[in-house]
Homo-oligomer: A and B are copies of this chain.
Amino acid sequence: MKVRYELIHKDKKTGARYGKVIFTAPDGTEQEYETPMFMPVGTQATVKTLSPEQVKDCGAGIILSNTYHLWLRPTPEIVEKAGGLHEFMNWHGPILTDSGGYQVFSLAHNKKKDITEEGVHFKSELDGKKLFLTPEESIRIQNMLDSDIAMSFDECPPATADKKYLKNSIERTIRWAKRGKAVFNNPNQNLFGIVQGGPYEDLRRWSAEETVKIGFDGYAVGGVANDDECKDDMYKAIEYSCPYLPEDKLRYLMGVGEPVDLLEGVKRGIDIFDCVSPTRLARHGNALVPGVRETGISGLKENRINLKNAKFTDDFSPIDEHCDCYTCKNYTRAYLHHLVKCDEQFGASLLSIHNIRFLIRLTEQMREAIKEDRYEEFVEEFYKK
């Protein structure tokens, strides 16, 4: 489906954006979603432990799936034969696929990767098989997967990269973005570009301007480390990138899903987010709860409870009495504690529903706050909880 973004209102004090993203199918039918938006992740063509209906019931719009994983299994050829990713996984809302770059640069046997101008040589984490991912191959795979939004293949520099390294990396990412765009050939898909440049204002501006010159259907802020120690760098990266991106295109902060980062990202002009954290936290027995907590070097951090804790054995209240999710409406902490202690899959499902809904509900509340020009107050209130 082709995408367009409509900016409806900017918060007077912060500039936080409330908008709509509209997807148009080849037959002209439209799907419309509001932003800011949190996108649940379905790494292997499934949002872990949940049915598409359960994901939809959380209020999800776009979901994300991972090109790297689908490339290895089941392969883009199988997904294409199935009629594309929507048909394959029975998700009829929009899908965004990443480029595979992040996994290649971080997950796949790191020491054995070899970055060349042509692309990245590395070994499969599944069977050690030699693989080669290039900008063209990433786009070929994504075209075959038939997601709605495809991402450019960018170089993901290490968090410790210095300015010189980053400069070379940005230049390569721009060359790769052009190569990817040149072979992109799915008329029902949209291609997004990625801004790099670490926490440096001049590099971010330069990367943003060069990426916008190539021309994409939307833009992502990449290269933000998701570590507690680097939150300031993440916020700088956003602050230094967004002013140079067109107002009429979606802005996507990749791989970020802590409540505090959603709040700070939107404040700086971001529209959409994705992260595996709500489902991963769930599988470890964690539920997100309102507020943020202070931690040592890391400053503000998401607030959560772990249902494994013995104190929940006879706690017959819901995770959060103000939450409107299926889990909070129907199940107690005591029941969740029981499921988690017994390693019952349904515990992970119920916590995934709660955590996804928690982040989506947060974005819904942000939208209301922006519309009423009280975004800054909303953020402050959230921090006080």
Cβ of A82 within 8 Å of any chain B Cβ, yes or no, is yes
Contact of A49 (CB < 8 Å), options: B89, B330, B335, B345: B345
List of B residues within 8 angstroms of A335 by Cβ = 45, 82, 88-90
Cβ of A338 within 8 Å of any chain B Cβ, yes or no, is yes
Contact B90 A338 (CB under 8 A): no
List of B residues within 8 angstroms of A316 by Cβ = 81-82
Contact A348 B345 (CB under 8 A): yes
Taking the closest CB of chain B, its distance from the CB of A311, in whole angstroms, is 13
Contact of A344 (CB < 8 Å), options: B46, B332, B346: B46
Contact B82 A44 (CB under 8 A): no
In the complex, A348→B344 CA distance in Å?
12
Contact of A338 (CB < 8 Å), options: B54, B74, B314, B346: B74
Q: How many copies does the complex hold?
A: 2
Contact A339 B46 (CB under 8 A): yes
In the complex, A331→B344 CA distance in Å?
24
User: In chain A, residues 319-359, which have Cβ atoms closer than 8 Å to a Cβ of chain B?
Assistant: 330-332, 334-335, 337-339, 341-342, 344-349
Closest to A332 in B: B82
Contact A48 B82 (CB under 8 A): no
In the complex, A54→B344 CA distance in Å?
16
In the complex, A341→B72 CA distance in Å?
12
Contact A338 B45 (CB under 8 A): yes
Contact A82 B49 (CB under 8 A): no
Taking the closest CB of chain B, its distance from the CB of A20, in whole angstroms, is 29
Cβ of A379 within 8 Å of any chain B Cβ, yes or no, is no
In the complex, A342→B50 CA distance in Å?
15
Contact B345 A314 (CB under 8 A): no
List of B residues within 8 angstroms of A110 by Cβ = none
User: In chain A, residues 172-218, which have Cβ atoms closer than 8 Å to a Cβ of chain B?
Assistant: none
Contact A48 B81 (CB under 8 A): no
Closest to A46 in B: B346
List of B residues within 8 angstroms of A306 by Cβ = none
Taking the closest CB of chain B, its distance from the CB of A352, in whole angstroms, is 10
Cβ of A303 within 8 Å of any chain B Cβ, yes or no, is no
Contact with B along A80-97 (1 / 0, CB 8 A): 011000001110000000
The 7 closest A-B pairs by CB, nearest first: A74-B338, A46-B346, A49-B345, A90-B330, A44-B342, A46-B344, A345-B345
List 13 A-B pairs, Cβ < 8 Å.
Answer: A44-B339, A44-B342, A46-B346, A48-B345, A49-B349, A50-B346, A73-B338, A74-B338, A78-B313, A88-B335, A89-B335, A345-B345, A345-B348
